[in-house]
Structure 1
Amino acid sequence: MSTVEESIDVDVPVRVVYDQWATFEDFPKFMDGVEEVRQLDDRRAHWRTRIAGLSREFETEVVERVPGERVAWRTTGESVKHTGTVDFEPLGATRTRVRMTMVFQPTGLAEKAADKLGVLGLQVRGDLRRFKRFVEDLAAGTGPRPSPEGS
């Protein structure tokens, strides 16, 4: 098992940041490689991803939800194995720290090699930077701006 932890500070109040993160269908707008997230019910979502040429579909289940503070999930089924948490820490009235932790089991040669090279950590760091821009633009009323490739 491997663990990745990354954080970023966002210039938006914690409740706005949490509410936007909890809108899973918007993940393709800022998560590189996520093609679709479809909410199945209040706890489960179906994901379709394509990362490094590898397509995957899987389901996740929210195992903990504390509004304004935390979302934790795990994958279900056999194809993809990971768990994660996103914690939201207010840093004043208009600033929030977002901390993501993922624990995953790489399978296959390509995933194991990518794990050794720290690819998931780079992916999570980039996704958090894109999320920061996305939620700050929405909060400013300017809407999401196009993201430069790979940022």
Structure 2
Amino acid sequence: MADVVRAETDVAASADTTFKWFTDFSHYPRFMRSVEQVFPVDGHPDRFQFVYTLAGIPRRYSIDVTTDPQRRTLDWVSASGPRHRGHAIVNTDGPDSATLTLELELELEELTERIAQALGLITTRARADLRRFAKFVEDVHHAADPTEAKEIADGETSHRTPLQWLFDTVFPTDESSH
């Protein structure tokens, strides 16, 4: 049976801008803690490989992605690594306001994953990742010029809530000290 995680965030940017950035996987390491790199898989235009750490151990997984720009939806299913699937949708709240809603179905197999889910840490991490995503998009979207926007997009951020600090202390990763 899959565990379901739901998270949502408001973004002070248009729905189209929000969707554009959410479907640009190269920037995921900027807002997803523990994700170090995302790259397309050769020969599979809709497959992406994620490199991340869990409890200090480097890991990889691949997802197959389907996007629908008209509806501003992104769906994925794991192709390798931990079994999971997800759905994200960006809704318009106004001309410069959107809501990003995320739903994940996770097949938790490892003890650390089950403990993290039981403590609510996976949901907390998903919500924090979405808040960092919103801040990232807003900073890029409201940059004074394209050069500043590129610097923001290529830079680094570190926003840790007390619960993230606890999670990083209990399940340390290479990023925990950032």
TM-score (norm 2): 0.78
CA distance in 2, matches of 1:91, 1:108: 39
List structure 1 segments (4+ residues) > 4 angstroms apart after TM superposition.
Answer: none
What is the deviation of 1:147?
A: 3.0
What is the deviation of 1:36?
A: 0.4
Q: Percent identity?
A: 23
Aligned to 2:45, the other structure's residue is in SS state coil
What is the deviation of 1:138?
A: 0.4
Computed over aligned residues only, the root mean square deviation of the Cα atoms, in angstroms, reads: 1.6
The answer for unaligned runs of 5 or more in structure 2 is 162-178
> Which residue number corresponds to residue 73 of structure 2?
70
**Correspondences of 1:1-150 after superposition (within 5 Å):** 1-40=2-41, 41-62=44-65, 64-67=66-69, 69-77=72-80, 79-141=81-143, 142-143=148-149, 144=152, 146-150=156-160
What is the deviation of 1:148?
A: 3.5
CA distance in 2, matches of 1:84, 1:72: 6
Aligned to 1:107, the other structure's residue is in SS state coil
Say how many residue pairs are matched: 149
Aligned to 1:32, the other structure's residue is in SS state coil
CA distance in 2, matches of 1:20, 1:95: 14
Aligned to 1:42, the other structure's residue is in SS state strand
The answer for unaligned runs of 5 or more in structure 1 is none
TM-score (norm 1): 0.91
